[in-house]
Amino acid sequence: MKSHDSLGVAVIGTGKMGADHVRRIQEVISGARVTAVVDVDPERAQSVAAGVDGCTAYPDAALAMASPDVDAVLIASPGAAHEAALLAAFAHDLPVLCEKPLTPDAASALRVVEAERRLGHRRVQVGFMRRYDAEYLKLKSLLDTGELGRPLMLHNRHRNLASPPWWTSAMHINDSVVHEMDVTRWLLGQEITAVTVLCPRPSANAPEGLRDPQFVVMETDGGAIVDVEINVNSGFGYQVQAEVVCERGTARIGDGHGMVVNSGGRWGGAIAQDFIERFADAYDREVQAWVDATRRGEVTGPGVWDGYAVAAVCEAGVRAQSEGRRVEVELVERPALYR
């Protein structure tokens, strides 16, 4: 760090996710402070900066990274802007937490992999926050013990309240199932080798022209079969659930066993309405882990290889969706830096 005990963070992108990270760094986690914000909308950036002591708004990410007050970068801008911001961070040799996607496609993600490899050391943690969710962490720990034997199947359900007006069928894969793609690789310790996408008759809740829900089937190099029900217009809330079927038992998470109320002849609980509510604790743990590792001079968690691998699976998924067939995933050989 350049000149202070706490980590000076530049937040790139101050939309819903970026603004929430600014709040998180300032009010929830320890060891860091927001010293710069960047946004293509200067008024929005100025508004966010005005609420943080010692924070400066910049129109350009590279300018912010050149500031002596910036020790690290959190990228929360749209995916299309990530590659340029990551390369700028590499030029300054700054540690980065980059929200998913690493980049929008496998080719650009591979360019980032090669750029970091040339740098000679890891600098990027990718924001696959489910790896920091308490329930997913318990499931991962259980699988790692081997108590249940080899994983055979992994069932996932991913449901949103309603899709925004600009949502497309391909975004089911690139913006939603992308999380299941990463968590599959992490939970099972296996690469995804092929994707098939099946689309039933669209729900009456889906906007005209949107193929919703969808059923995604993935194969892994360890012989496991993974399925994902993705329904972005459930009409009732946000749900993420997973069940792994192993040789000697099963384990399930995401049932939401919070407070249950009995009243008026009925019983029930609450369903989260969006991803920020459901994964608030996971985001807190993710950013805290990044800050702690950065202050130690380390990089932990999912990295650019994970971002590239998931981008390649997404591309196969979108092709499978549009072509109506099984599509194999193409990956380059993993560089030594990521083994």
Write out pLDDT tens, residues 182-241. Answer: 999 999 999 999 999 999 999 999 999 999 999 999 999 999 999 999 999 999 999 999
List of long-range contacts for 200-206, beta carbons under 8 Å, 24+ apart? 203/231, 203/233, 205/162, 205/233, 205/234, 205/235, 206/163, 206/233
Do 101 and 18 have their domain in common? yes
Could you tell me the CA-to-CA distances from 242 to 35, 140, 184 in Å, in that order?
Answer: 38, 12, 10
pLDDT value of position 12: 98
pLDDT value of position 180: 98
Query: What confidence tens digit (pLDDT) does each residue in 66-103 have?
Result: 999 999 999 999 999 999 999 999 999 999 999 999 99
pTM: 0.94
The region, left, alpha or beta by phi > 0 then psi within -120 to 50, assigned to residue 90 is: alpha
Rounded Cα distance between 58 and 12, Å, is 9
- The rounded mean pLDDT for the chain is 95
Could you tell me the CA-to-CA distances from 226 to 94, 179, 183, 299 in Å, in that order?
Answer: 36, 13, 11, 29
pLDDT value of position 107: 98
Is 327 part of any domain? no
Do 95 and 149 have their domain in common? no
Are 227 and 155 in contact by the 8 Å Cβ rule? The answer is yes
Q: How many CB atoms lie within 10 A of CB 36?
A: 26
Q: Name the 3-class secondary structure at 77.
A: coil
DSSP 8-state secondary structure symbol assigned to residue 224: -
Is 92 part of any domain? yes
Is 329 part of any domain? no
Residue 257: is its pLDDT beyond 70? no
Do 124 and 25 have their domain in common? yes
Domain residue limits at 220: 134-277
pLDDT value of position 3: 43
Nearest-Å Rg of the Cα atoms of the chain is 20
Do 177 and 126 have their domain in common? no
Rounded Cα distance between 315 and 328, Å, is 10
pLDDT value of position 267: 84
Do 251 and 204 have their domain in common? yes
Do 67 and 43 have their domain in common? yes
Number of structural domains the chain divides into: 2
- In the predicted model, what is the mean pLDDT of residues 262-290? 90
- The sheet carrying 32-38 orders its strands as 56-58, 32-38, 7-12, 72-75, 96-99, 124-127
Confidence at 2, pLDDT banded by 50, 70, 90 = very low
Do 211 and 90 have their domain in common? no
Q: Greatest CA span in the chain, whole angstroms?
A: 65
Rounded Cα distance between 229 and 254, Å, is 14
Is 328 part of any domain? no
DSSP 8-state secondary structure symbol assigned to residue 75: E
Closest by CA to 140, choosing from 208, 205, 186, 190, is 186
Do 188 and 259 have their domain in common? yes
pLDDT value of position 276: 80
| CATH number, domain containing residue 92 | 3.40.50.720
| CATH number, domain containing residue 210 | 3.30.360.10
Do 224 and 175 have their domain in common? yes
Could you tell me the CA-to-CA distances from 24 to 39, 74, 153, 188, 284 in Å, in that order?
Answer: 18, 12, 36, 30, 7
pLDDT value of position 5: 80
Q: What is the dihedral of CA 71, 75, 76, 77, to 10 degrees?
A: 120
Q: How many CB atoms lie within 10 A of CB 80?
A: 12
Do 193 and 250 have their domain in common? yes
Could you tell me the CA-to-CA distances from 174 to 66, 100, 273, 311, 317 in Å, in that order?
Answer: 32, 10, 21, 8, 8
Do 140 and 222 have their domain in common? yes
Confidence at 22, pLDDT banded by 50, 70, 90 = very high
Measured in degrees and rounded to the nearest 5, phi and psi for residue 252 equal -135, 140
DSSP 8-state secondary structure symbol assigned to residue 335: P
Rounded Cα distance between 288 and 130, Å, is 14
